[in-house]
């Protein structure tokens, strides 16, 4: 059995373990949160290194890719250095592929209802954080607003183009990535705080809201009637909350397994475990090939 362990610096309330068969191989996928404790995460990676086939780096990532540039997080580097034997994925190598597949699948679903994404209004919570998803939104024909200033810096400034996102990244990320990761992203108990109804104008005018689910949830208004969310990891509890708020369609870039969708870090780690090559020899084409052969499909749920 292939063992895939995601050690996350996020909340342990989102922990989950499941077994699934991919390409004739039994795989155990497990997520273990450290509640914002980076030192504990580093120690657990050292403890399990060589005992699992692959690690997913959860609640964080080694770098942000915006356009052709990569911005590496200084505070996450010790996690990478702690892993000597097991394979490892932080999701970055498959995010562009899965984001495109998610919007393509959503367009196909809407076409059956005589609808299309083209011309819809969209809100991407933070585009420098998930640039590939922002790019996929634009390529799908969505008129997107990017909320980087709002969701990361708490400033009421909307960004309207990917060129502006790339400029913002070039100015801010060389500085931000040198700061503690928790300054950039909510960790531990912060992830479980009740949603605050902020930026209602931008939620209200958007037909499609995309981004990290915890960011979307953080400022989510009580009424999400008729809206579509495209996101990553969601638990059964998250889905029920969205149903109660009237959400129309929930799309996750990864499939739902036993009630929850796992993050892209878990999926990349799983793909790497299935590729019979040393980790440093695995190419994006290898990962794309396994995605197609499984096939690893996005999950689309009509909630209301």
pLDDT at 190: 58
Instruction: Tell which CATH architecture fits domain 96-256.
Output: 3-Layer(aba) Sandwich (3.40)
The domain ranges of the chain are 2-94+262-296, 96-256
pTM confidence score? 0.92
Which pLDDT does position 191 carry in this prediction? Answer: 58
In the DSSP assignment, the letter for residue 262 is P
pLDDT at 1: 95
Beta-strand pair 121-124/54-58: unpaired
32: which strand partners? Answer: 7
Pair of tokens at residue 89: 């994925």
Element (H, E) at 118: none
pLDDT of residue 147: 97
Identify the CA nearest to 267 among candidates 302, 297, 227.
297
Q: Which parts of the chain register pLDDT below 50?
A: none
Q: What's the token pair of residue 23?
A: 């390409």
Token pair listed for 15: 């922990």
pLDDT at 233: 84
Torsion of CA 236, 240, 246, 252, to 10 degrees: 0
Using left for φ > 0, alpha for ψ between -120 and 50, and beta otherwise, residue 275 falls in: beta
Q: What is the pLDDT of residue 192?
A: 66
One DSSP character per residue, 165-217 reads HHHHHHHHHHHHTTS-GGGTS--GGGGGSPP----HHHHHH-SEEES-HHHHH
Cis bond upstream, residue 124 (ω within 30) = no
The two beta strands, 63-66 and 69-72, are antiparallel
211 φ/ψ angles, rounded to the nearest 5 degrees:
140, -170
Contacts of 137 (CB under 8 A, 6+ apart): 103, 122, 124, 144, 208, 210, 230
Determine contact, residues 147/122, Cβ cutoff 8 Å.
no
**Residues 228-261 pLDDT 10s:** 999 988 988 999 999 999 999 999 999 888 777 7
Question: How does the average pLDDT of the chain come out, rounded?
Answer: 94
Q: What is the DSSP letter of 123?
A: E
pLDDT score, position 193: 73
Counting Cα atoms < 13 Å in the Cβ hemisphere of 252 gives: 22
pLDDT score at 303: 97
Question: What φ, ψ does residue 273 adopt, rounded to 5°?
Answer: -65, -30
How far from 181 is each of 52, 76, 186, 297, CA to CA, in Å? 26, 7, 9, 30
CB-side neighbour CA atoms (13 Å) of 250: 29
């Amino acid at each position: 059995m292939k063992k895939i362990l995601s050690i996350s610096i996020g909340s342990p309330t989102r922990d989950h373990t499941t077994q699934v068969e991919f390409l004739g191989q039994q795989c155990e996928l497990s997520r273990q949160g450290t509640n914002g404790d980076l030192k504990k995460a580093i120690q657990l990676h050292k403890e399990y290194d060589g005992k699992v086939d692959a690690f997913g780096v959860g609640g964080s990532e080694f770098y942000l890719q915006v356009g052709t540039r990569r911005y590496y997080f200084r505070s996450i580097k010790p996690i990478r250095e702690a892993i000597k034997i097991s394979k490892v994925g932080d999701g970055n190598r498959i995010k562009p592929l899965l984001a495109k597949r998610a919007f393509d699948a959503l367009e196909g679903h809407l076409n059956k209802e005589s609808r299309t994404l083209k011309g819809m209004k969209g809100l991407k919570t933070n585009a420098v954080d998930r640039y590939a998803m922002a790019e996929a939104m634009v390529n799908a024909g969505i008129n997107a607003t990017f909320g980087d200033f709002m969701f990361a810096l708490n400033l009421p400034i909307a960004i309207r183009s990917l060129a502006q996102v790339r400029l913002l990244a070039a100015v801010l990320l060389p500085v931000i990535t040198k700061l503690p990761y928790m300054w950039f992203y909510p960790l531990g108990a912060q992830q479980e705080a009740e949603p605050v109804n902020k930026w209602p104008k931008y939620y209200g005018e958007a037909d499609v809201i995309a981004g990290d689910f915890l960011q979307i949830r953080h400022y989510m208004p009580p009424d999400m009637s008729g809206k579509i969310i495209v996101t990553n990891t969601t638990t059964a509890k998250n889905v029920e909350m969205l149903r109660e708020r009237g959400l129309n369609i929930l799309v996750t870039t990864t499939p739902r397994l036993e009630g929850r969708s796992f993050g892209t870090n878990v999926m990349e780690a799983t793909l790497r475990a299935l590729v019979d090559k040393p980790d440093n020899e695995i190419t994006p084409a290898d990962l794309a090939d396994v995605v197609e052969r499984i096939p690893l499909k996005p999950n689309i749920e009509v909630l209301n």
